[in-house]
Structure 1
């Protein structure tokens, strides 16, 4: 294939010294070039060839790139910033990271002709390894890649812990490297801060970002501090910091999402909606943002915006891992709220067609249809359909998430099956008794069905029942009645298998039992299973991370390596 010379204003192909194949790191690496201009792809490929790179793949669009990233383990990704159709390289990078399509040691570099992109990237918490402004020489590309690969090598010890989701180990390694004060000290501070926020250790995160800002006013540290303050509910200071970052650069998209979160926490869905609409105008391709825009629009009573955002969500998610039956249920709910029963019926029909042979989708369609029938003046038909859904619920419940179950709760209330709705809500509350966002979502469901006061009472009673049970088990443990404490926690786990805090408290009680009374095989077996369960469902839980360390220490002490996690 002929390889034309790149335009002189884009890339200068000045050869760099080529090492022999045996000692040349470029010869061993697999590259991906993402650019929608074929001439630019070829020009970059030719430059890489002068470094000794000979394994190169190409992608023209974001969807092609994600498909290739899912298929191959790339060592280096060079991605144009402007990918067309509202996609940019930074969004692609963040999407690939969140979907675990990039191995930790991969280098991801953005290439752009826009100088403003530097400011966008510098503010991002989840940022690529660097950027390169067009036009650039081969030597400049080589220098940037060499530095990025050196940085990746420096992070390899942390990468191993991150791959195993052992965040406290990763933070400890960050501390070691920060203490070394080498050229990547700021990078390790940035990683430590983001990991602290990830596991919910907001005080550590706040301390890290304040430490950085005392040295230099870096946008990513401002952003991180604002997130820490939001988690501590210091909303005025957090909002001020987010707005300062946006004043400097209105394309730091995370700020809009977090500002919306603040407004929503303050029961202000109107401003939350406006902030997310601003963000959607700048970048309309983020599924989660469109989904959130729909949610706050429903709370604000703007059913038209909710419908538009959900339709966009469904279109964007159609061929991705974000595809969800819940979006169709939410769209039908928005349509029914606007009095558009025919549109809701079309949504239900589309759901069944798009997810044919899917039991859950068929069941959700029945739930939607029951609400359509009730609202269309056919209450007996609505009751018949909801009774059919109730009958199938037990078999399908292991496949349902809480968002789907709450749609079911709404339908049960609308069709007069309050008994089923209350029973299901009680279980959801007990399994999420310390999850403020989930409890607020449940409160919103009760507001939607006109039972706000009932909802507050049901939530409060069931939260308190879990707190009382937990306190009783803790009291038994503190009184030295460890057998009884472990038994009570195990009983609670059996009744509330999705309550992570109860499960972790059970582990804590078992560890205390073994420390005090010696090895107990069946108890340790349960602790192992509980930790394994939490690892799969909530690995970033800070209590899990701490208990995992304590559990491993105990296993090593007793030499029972067969129970190691």
Structure 2
């Protein structure tokens, strides 16, 4: 099959005999660009160096053991950490005995499953169908990957009409693209259109429920998800969203019950176990929290993406239980097994402070918290949740300066920083109105500095630098009307003078929509909309924007 000769394949299988058999099957079909991985860890390292068209992955990667990663967990890690492109073909190889279980409880769906034993003809037929589908969707998927979402929507609409064989796939991509634009009503319309033709399409039911959730229609989301789970009790993503929906409705105990049931069906997904532990802790079910966090620490041990935060969660639970001895053991395990992790110093110090507090050693605990806050300022991978917990711990020990410095650093985090409102809320909830006022004033000062810096860069003709400065200010102050106005004006000027860039144009569209909600009577909105339209016409893309 010469059309396959350019494909590259990674075989992930611990069995030398199976790797050799797959190699021979692929060679017989003109596929010669083949590499191997014997475990999830080696596959992740391999994919960190090189991209592949196809991944053939054995589900049972640890030979039936209870601790190592399986193929489904590997797929979860690869997609969650974006180590494979959305169009990478991932085919899971399973035995008949485990196939039904795996397919029924899939966390993230592979491109296809192949049940063993199989012939070369059967394998290549599956690969052929997957390649045909990928090629049909590739132009639209490429536009999504490049941030050209409006062009992707146009190509999806054309694909639905021009390639009826893949109309459902195009509709799914179309809905997901609308969701990426936060155009939830349009996304919901696509899902409902699919459901009118295919009422049993579980993914479309889940997509519609996600639209309800995103629009704050939590009761609608709950009803849709409960109906979906009646039809597909092992639809794991529906369990996860239902738990979040119950949380949004203020029903944490019901959310915990949903996750406990989901874990009995599919016990290996680390993120679900972590969520269960957090809910159990929040509802004072310390026994369930301890079990969940111990499972997280144990299962994550075999992942390339371990985090010392999981040890902190377990320590916090054991401290709530009053078990300082076991908590100290968890800290020792963290120090030993995660010595090279950049976040370990901050997590070790925070965990140590928790244990010291339990023993009544306030002075020593405060010293550890100060170390944790200092380390956390440069630990980029730590979650906002852990950092906010650290801020609150500092405030309880009257460590105002480290707490304020950490919050300001979080506000300035370009990737996932706190907004001004969130930062102020941290201090208000801690009963520290004085620090809330201080942070609010500092945020106002930063916004004014950003506006001044943007104006200076514009005056010097440094358009790209000006856009960078003002968009950083938008991340910190997403509801500051003057910052938003300046951001749109600056982006439009760059588009007009330096050429059309679809992702930047999408950003301008989103910011204009936000401004219309915040300040619908603002007189500048109409002028900017006209300027945006003129720039589109200037570059001949008005019909597709």
TM-score (norm 2): 0.74
| Alpha-carbon distance between aligned partners in 1 of 2:434 and 2:228, rounded to the nearest angstrom | 41
Extract unaligned runs of 5+ from structure 1: 1-18, 475-481, 560-565
| Alpha-carbon distance between aligned partners in 2 of 1:555 and 1:150, rounded to the nearest angstrom | 34
2:243 is aligned to 260
1:143 is aligned to 125
Matching of residues 390-401 of structure 1 within 5 Å = 392=374, 396=378, 401=383
1:213 and 1:222 in contact (8 A); partners too? yes
1:10 is aligned to none
- Give the SS at the match of 1:131: strand
- What does the per-residue CA deviation read over 1:523-548, in whole Å, with 9 as the maximum and x for residues that have no partner? x9xxx9xx99xx9xxx999827999x
CA 1:100–1:429 in structure 2 vs 1: closer, same or farther (change >3 Å)?
closer
1:477 is aligned to none
Q: Is 1:75 aligned to residue 53 of structure 2? A: yes
2:77 is aligned to 95
2:376 and 2:382 in contact (8 A); partners too? no
Q: Is 1:501 aligned to residue 468 of structure 2? A: no
Deviation of the 1:496 alpha carbon: 5.9
Deviation of the 1:88 alpha carbon: 5.2
| Alpha-carbon distance between aligned partners in 1 of 2:240 and 2:146, rounded to the nearest angstrom | 29
| Alpha-carbon distance between aligned partners in 1 of 2:495 and 2:151, rounded to the nearest angstrom | 27
- Counterpart selection for 1:246 from 229, 234, 237: 229
- Give the SS at the match of 1:110: strand
- What does the per-residue CA deviation read over 1:77-119, in whole Å, with 9 as the maximum and x for residues that have no partner? 2334454457554543343233333345432223445499589
2:141 is aligned to 159
Alpha-carbon RMSD: 5.0
Q: Is 1:314 aligned to residue 297 of structure 2? A: yes
1:543 is aligned to 510
Q: Is 1:323 aligned to residue 272 of structure 2? A: no
- Give the SS at the match of 1:203: helix
- Give the SS at the match of 2:84: coil
- Give the SS at the match of 1:261: helix
1:125 and 1:220 in contact (8 A); partners too? no
| Alpha-carbon distance between aligned partners in 2 of 1:114 and 1:272, rounded to the nearest angstrom | 34
Deviation of the 1:497 alpha carbon: 7.6
1:3 is aligned to none
- What does the per-residue CA deviation read over 1:275-298, in whole Å, with 9 as the maximum and x for residues that have no partner? 222222333332211221111111
Q: Is 1:232 aligned to residue 224 of structure 2? A: no
CA 1:453–1:53 in structure 2 vs 1: closer, same or farther (change >3 Å)?
closer
1:406 is aligned to 388
CA 1:196–1:505 in structure 2 vs 1: closer, same or farther (change >3 Å)?
farther
CA 1:46–1:355 in structure 2 vs 1: closer, same or farther (change >3 Å)?
closer
Q: Is 1:25 aligned to residue 7 of structure 2? A: no
2:28 is aligned to 50
- Counterpart selection for 1:299 from 282, 294, 306: 282
1:34 and 1:77 in contact (8 A); partners too? yes
| Alpha-carbon distance between aligned partners in 2 of 1:518 and 1:259, rounded to the nearest angstrom | 42
CA 1:542–1:137 in structure 2 vs 1: closer, same or farther (change >3 Å)?
farther
| Alpha-carbon distance between aligned partners in 2 of 1:147 and 1:141, rounded to the nearest angstrom | 10
- Counterpart selection for 2:258 from 268, 275, 279: 275
1:370 and 1:411 in contact (8 A); partners too? no
CA 1:108–1:232 in structure 2 vs 1: closer, same or farther (change >3 Å)?
same
CA 1:306–1:59 in structure 2 vs 1: closer, same or farther (change >3 Å)?
same
| Alpha-carbon distance between aligned partners in 2 of 1:381 and 1:50, rounded to the nearest angstrom | 67
| Alpha-carbon distance between aligned partners in 1 of 2:237 and 2:106, rounded to the nearest angstrom | 8
Deviation of the 1:194 alpha carbon: 2.3
| Alpha-carbon distance between aligned partners in 1 of 2:357 and 2:320, rounded to the nearest angstrom | 13
CA 1:135–1:355 in structure 2 vs 1: closer, same or farther (change >3 Å)?
closer
| Alpha-carbon distance between aligned partners in 2 of 1:417 and 1:404, rounded to the nearest angstrom | 17
- What does the per-residue CA deviation read over 1:177-228, in whole Å, with 9 as the maximum and x for residues that have no partner? 1232431111011112223334433222211100100111211111111211
CA 1:140–1:505 in structure 2 vs 1: closer, same or farther (change >3 Å)?
farther
2:316 is aligned to 333
| Alpha-carbon distance between aligned partners in 2 of 1:343 and 1:507, rounded to the nearest angstrom | 50
CA 1:415–1:552 in structure 2 vs 1: closer, same or farther (change >3 Å)?
farther
Q: Is 1:213 aligned to residue 195 of structure 2? A: yes
CA 1:149–1:297 in structure 2 vs 1: closer, same or farther (change >3 Å)?
same
| Alpha-carbon distance between aligned partners in 1 of 2:334 and 2:403, rounded to the nearest angstrom | 23
CA 1:331–1:402 in structure 2 vs 1: closer, same or farther (change >3 Å)?
same
Q: Is 1:372 aligned to residue 355 of structure 2? A: yes
1:165 and 1:540 in contact (8 A); partners too? no
- What does the per-residue CA deviation read over 1:478-511, in whole Å, with 9 as the maximum and x for residues that have no partner? xxxx99xx9xx99996996852736997465244
